């Protein structure tokens, strides 16, 4: 039996663009079924998840409602941890009971300390929320809101500092030792800084994959399994000469990152998380799609960094 930290992308868990609550529940149940398969094979699982689409939805709701006292990003992150954690915990618990597995599933609201002096606070680059036309974007920028333009329009950008420490690490490890299936550090964790031995929330978004790698090291996992919307990490992605990667070494992965083969906001953080996990003593990191989770874990597909 291996201990595995599984990181599931926010779109795979709850995609706001995909319809009514019944459809959303179907997505959640499908995700829980894939995770339950891995648990049925005897593996010890800690689960983390993304929250990008959900935070974006809350930001849009705040703006559309014209809220005077809109909630900051750390609070929105905490809200989505609770929402997604509840739905995933309930569905996974149901799937396990159907299989005769009596394991407690528990969600931990997780804070993650970040470096308050990280350069991303001065020069934010992480896009979040809705797209805006140029007129609206110019008005927002005059109000001091930082934005970036791409092919679809303008979006807000926020800081995305690297995770430094998981605040609730000890209780998570205790629950894992006692046999619980823990859902933690959703969305990379609620970003906080330490000041005079106190924790303070900050306006930022932490990369979920980097936190998942840190979580995997903290709980002594042998494997970090990152599930996304593609079956492999690839060289020349989307081009005629695309090459899907199978098993690669740390040295090869580092070279591919330096050569710029992976998208900065998509695949590169996953590769970096894999590298940090392996350097910290992890056995293997795997990147694949949600529907190929178990085959990837068994070596049948996916990209493996060793």
Query: Can you give the pLDDT at residue 13?
Result: 72
Distance from C-alpha of 245 to C-alpha of 230, rounded to nearest angstrom: 12
Least confident of 12-16, 124-128, 191-195, 289-293: 12-16
Judged against a pLDDT cut of 80, whether residue 94 lies above it is answered with yes
pLDDT for the residue 66: 67
Average pLDDT of the residues in 148-158: 91
**pLDDT score recorded for residue 60:** 77
Average pLDDT, the chain: 92
The pLDDT value recorded for residue 192 is 98
Q: Which of 9, 10, 50, 189 is catalytic?
A: 10
| pLDDT 10s digits, 43-91 | 999 999 998 888 877 887 887 776 667 889 999 999 999 999 999 999 9
Q: Is 236 left (phi over 0), alpha (psi -120 to 50) or beta?
A: left
Scan for tokens 């936190």, then name that residue: 211
- 258 is annotated as an active-site residue: no
Residue 10 catalytic?
yes
Catalytic residue selected from 56, 77, 126, 188: 126
The reply to whether the predicted model has a pTM over 0.85 is yes
Calculate the alpha carbon distances from 189 to 47, 94, 166 in Å.
12, 25, 8
Q: Which of 50, 77, 129, 208 is catalytic?
A: 208
Going by C-alpha positions, the residue among 233, 207, 226, 221 that lies closest to residue 274 is 226
Cβ partners under 8 Å of residue 125, min gap 6: 148, 157, 160
Cβ proximity of 305 and 271 under 8 Å: yes
Q: Which residue has the higher pLDDT, 150 or 3?
A: 3
Q: What is the 3-state secondary structure (H, E, C) of the chain?
A: CCEEEEEECHHHHCCCCCCCHHHHHHHHHHHHHHHHHHHHCCCEEEEEECCHHHHHHHHHHHHHHCCCCCCCHHHHHHHHHHHHHHHHHHHHHHHHHHCCCCCCEEEECCEEEECCCCHHHCCCCEEEEEEECHHHHHHHHHCCCCEEEECCEEEEEEECCCEEEECCHHHHHHHHHCCCEEEECHHHCEEEEEECCEEEECCECCCHHHHHHHHHHHCCCCEEEEEECCCCCEECCCCCCCEECCEECHHHHHHHHHCCCCCCCCHHHHHHHHHHHHHCCCCEEEEEEHHHHHHHHCCCCCEEEC
Is there a catalytic annotation at residue 97? no
Task: Give the integer Cα–Cα distance in Å for 29 and 32.
Answer: 5
Question: Which pLDDT value is given to residue 16?
Answer: 56
Q: What structural domains does the chain harbor?
A: 3-124+159-301 (3.40.1160.10)
Average pLDDT in the 94-107 region? 96
Between CA 108 and CA 273, with CA 125 as vertex, the angle to 5 degrees is 50
**Confidence at residue 64, expressed as pLDDT on a 0 to 100 scale:** 73
Is 80 exceeded by the pLDDT of residue 222?
yes
Reply yes or no on whether the pLDDT at 165 is more than 70: yes
> Mean pLDDT over residues 6-27, rounded?
76
208 catalytically annotated? yes
**Residue 109 burial (C-beta neighbours within 10 Å; 0-12, 13-18, 19+):** middle
Catalytic position from the list 270, 282, 292, 302: 270
Looking at the predicted structure, is the pLDDT value of residue 19 above 60? no
Instruction: Express each pLDDT in 180-206 by its tens digit.
Output: 999 999 999 999 999 999 999 999 999
pLDDT at 177: 96
């Amino acid at each position: 039996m291996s201990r595995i930290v599984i990181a599931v992308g926010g779109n795979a868990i709850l995609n706001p663009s995909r319809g009514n609550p019944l459809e959303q529940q179907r997505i959640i149940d499908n995700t829980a079924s894939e995770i339950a398969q891995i648990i049925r094979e005897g593996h010890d699982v800690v689960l983390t998840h993304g929250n990008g689409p959900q935070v974006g939805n809350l930001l849009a709701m705040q703006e559309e409602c014209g809220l005077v006292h809109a909630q900051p990003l750390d609070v929105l992150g905490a809200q989505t941890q609770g929402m997604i954690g509840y739905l995933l915990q309930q569905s996974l618990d149901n799937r396990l009971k159907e299989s005769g597995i009596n394991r407690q599933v528990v969600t931990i609201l997780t804070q993650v300390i970040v470096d308050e002096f990280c350069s991303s606070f001065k020069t934010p680059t992480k896009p979040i929320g809705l797209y805006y036309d140029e007129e609206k974007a110019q008005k927002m920028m005059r109000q001091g809101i930082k934005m970036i333009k791409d092919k679809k329009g303008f979006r807000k950008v926020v800081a995305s500092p690297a995770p430094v420490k998981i605040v609730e690490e000890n209780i998570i490890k205790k629950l894992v030792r006692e046999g619980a299936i823990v859902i933690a550090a959703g969305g990379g964790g609620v970003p906080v800084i330490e000041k005079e031995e106190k924790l303070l929330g900050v306006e930022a978004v932490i990369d979920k994959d980097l936190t998942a790698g840190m979580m995997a090291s903290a709980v002594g996992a042998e494997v970090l399994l990152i599930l996304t919307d593609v079956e492999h990490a690839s060289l020349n992605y989307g081009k005629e000469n695309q090459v899907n990667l199978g098993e690669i070494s740390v040295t090869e992965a580092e070279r591919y990152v330096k050569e710029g083969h992976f998208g900065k906001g998509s695949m590169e953080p996953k590769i970096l998380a894999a590298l940090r996990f392996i350097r910290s003593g992890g056995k293997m990191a795997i990147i694949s799609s949600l529907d190929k989770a178990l085959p990837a874990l068994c070596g049948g597909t996916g990209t493996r960094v060793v």
